């Protein structure tokens, strides 16, 4: 194998596939990335058996071939090369030479034949989204997946496709995040659970351009995301997702319209008094057109009032401030509507069209 490419192009592609390289594996080959030079171009490939990524590198092929290189070592070398043209060649024993200006590295490689190939997926009837939409959907929901591997379903997000509507749902037992968008065409109904880890990594690669699209293909066990010169294949999480519709209620006793930026800033200030080990709730007192936030910790206390528009009853309720902050930070509206029933029932932050819904469970407090 013998190829040449610009360092910047190579590094960009290396950074993309690194997201599918495990830190440690019982199969050492998985700690490698593949460089493959073929009539299809120069391809970098990585696969941790749950997530696989391949991407094309712009460059010239002098001799076709394939080599597996330790991903960590190779990526660190590329990162530190001068910003110029890079020449990479591998001999019949997979000894790989990397040359850039006056720097020359020789590192041991291995055959790429034993590397597990990405699953073959038929590319038919893709779900088509703009890169902007997919990146936004992930940003606005992925924070509320669970990191507890003992409940696999909660570590993923439900993609619920129903004709011309896509709902993306995540939950962790304390909150639910829902984003709904209208699609440009109708699709067959489908529900799949995509690992949150995969969505996080895809979000980092997406350009977020409104004019660029992502094609998403599904099989029974996998999803394939295709965009720009990159393909990401992920294993789906098996099982039935929670029936969240029965958890959603349009009933409320209290509805508060409040300036989002003011509320966000206020909770951020209150959070300065919370240690990581603390589980102190932020207490909200709604009375008339006043919204009072109160926090009392071992460090100190804080109270702040915000003007609101109130519909319904006064209420005193407590929340984990982090859950409120996570939701508010991803809402782009100037004003948010908060729907409350009683101090023990969840609150809902949602817009009129329900394009987003955030359900947050309250914390038990003494209202006195």
Is residue 152 domain-shared with residue 68, that is, in the same domain?
no
* Residue 291 placed within a domain: yes
Judge if pTM exceeds 0.85.
Answer: yes
Same domain, 257 and 340: yes
Identify the domain boundary among 229, 245, 261.
245
The tokens for 28 are 């050492």
Q: How many domains does the chain have?
A: 3
Same domain, 346 and 274: yes
Last residue of a domain, one of 245, 261, 287: 245
* pLDDT at res. 126: 94
Whether 106 is in a domain gets the answer yes
| 284 and 208 inside one domain | no
Which residues lie closer than 8 Å to 318 by C-beta, 6 or more apart? 281, 282, 283, 284, 343, 362, 363, 364, 365
**pLDDT score for 368:** 36
Q: Does residue 136 sit in the same domain as residue 236? A: yes
> What was the pLDDT predicted at 16?
97
Residue 324 and residue 347 share a domain = yes
Do 235 and 147 reside in the same domain of the chain?
Answer: yes
pLDDT tens across the length of the chain (368 residues): 999 999 999 999 999 999 999 988 889 999 999 999 999 999 999 999 999 999 999 999 999 999 999 999 999 999 999 999 999 999 999 999 999 999 999 999 999 998 999 998 989 899 999 999 999 999 999 999 999 888 999 999 999 999 999 999 999 999 999 999 999 999 999 999 999 999 999 999 999 899 999 999 999 999 999 999 999 999 999 999 999 998 898 899 999 999 999 999 999 999 999 887 777 899 999 998 999 999 998 899 999 999 999 999 999 999 999 999 999 999 999 999 999 999 999 999 999 999 999 999 999 886 43
Q: Is residue 290 part of a domain?
A: yes
What CATH number did the domain enclosing 108 receive? 3.10.150.10
Residue 98 lies in a domain: yes
Domain annotation covers residue 366: no
Task: State whether 87 and 181 are in the same domain.
Answer: no
| Domain hosting residue 324, numbered range | 248-360
In terms of Cα–Cα distance, which of 174, 145, 357, 177 is closest to 281?
174
Domain closes at, from 245, 262, 282 = 245
Same domain, 132 and 222: yes
* Judgement on whether residues 252 and 356 belong to the same structural domain of the protein: yes
121 lies in some domain: no
């Amino acid at each position: 194998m013998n190829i040449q490419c610009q360092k910047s192009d190579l590094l960009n592609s290396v950074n993309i596939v690194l997201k599918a390289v495990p830190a440690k594996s019982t199969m050492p080959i998985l700690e490698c990335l593949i460089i493959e030079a073929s009539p299809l171009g120069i391809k970098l490939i990585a696969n941790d058996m749950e997530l696989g990524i391949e991407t094309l590198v712009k460059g010239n092929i002098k001799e076709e071939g394939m080599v597996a290189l330790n991903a960590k070592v190779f990526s660190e070398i590329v990162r530190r090369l001068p910003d110029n043209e890079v020449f990479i060649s591998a001999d019949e024993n997979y000894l790989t030479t990397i040359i850039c200006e006056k720097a020359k590295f020789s590192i041991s490689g291995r055959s790429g034949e034993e590397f597990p190939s990405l699953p073959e997926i038929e590319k038919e009837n893709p779900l088509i989204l703009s890169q902007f939409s997919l990146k936004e959907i992930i940003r606005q929901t992925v924070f509320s997946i669970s990191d507890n591997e003992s409940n696999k379903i909660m570590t993923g997000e439900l993609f619920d496709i129903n004709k011309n509507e896509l709902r993306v749902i995540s939950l962790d037992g304390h909150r639910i995040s829902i984003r709904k968008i209208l699609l440009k065409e109708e699709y067959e109904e489908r529900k799949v659970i995509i690992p949150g880890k995969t969505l996080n990594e895809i979000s980092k690669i997406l350009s977020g351009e409104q004019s660029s699209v992502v094609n998403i293909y599904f099989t029974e066990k996998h999803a394939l995301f295709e965009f720009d010169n990159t393909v990401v294949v992920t294993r789906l999480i098996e099982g039935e997702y929670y029936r969240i519709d029965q958890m959603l209620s349009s009933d409320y006793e209290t509805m508060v319209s409040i300036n989002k930026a003011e509320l966000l800033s206020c909770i951020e200030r209150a959070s300065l008094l919370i240690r990581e080990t603390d589980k102190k709730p932020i207490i909200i007192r709604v009375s008339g057109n006043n919204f009072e936030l109160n926090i009392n910790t071992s460090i100190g206390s804080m109270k702040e009032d915000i003007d609101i528009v109130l519909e319904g009853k006064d209420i005193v309720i407590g929340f984990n401030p982090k859950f409120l902050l996570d939701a508010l930070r991803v809402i782009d509206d100037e004003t948010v509507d908060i729907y409350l029933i009683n101090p023990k029932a969840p609150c809902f932050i949602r817009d009129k069209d329900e394009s987003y819904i955030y359900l947050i469970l309250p914390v038990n407090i003494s209202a006195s």
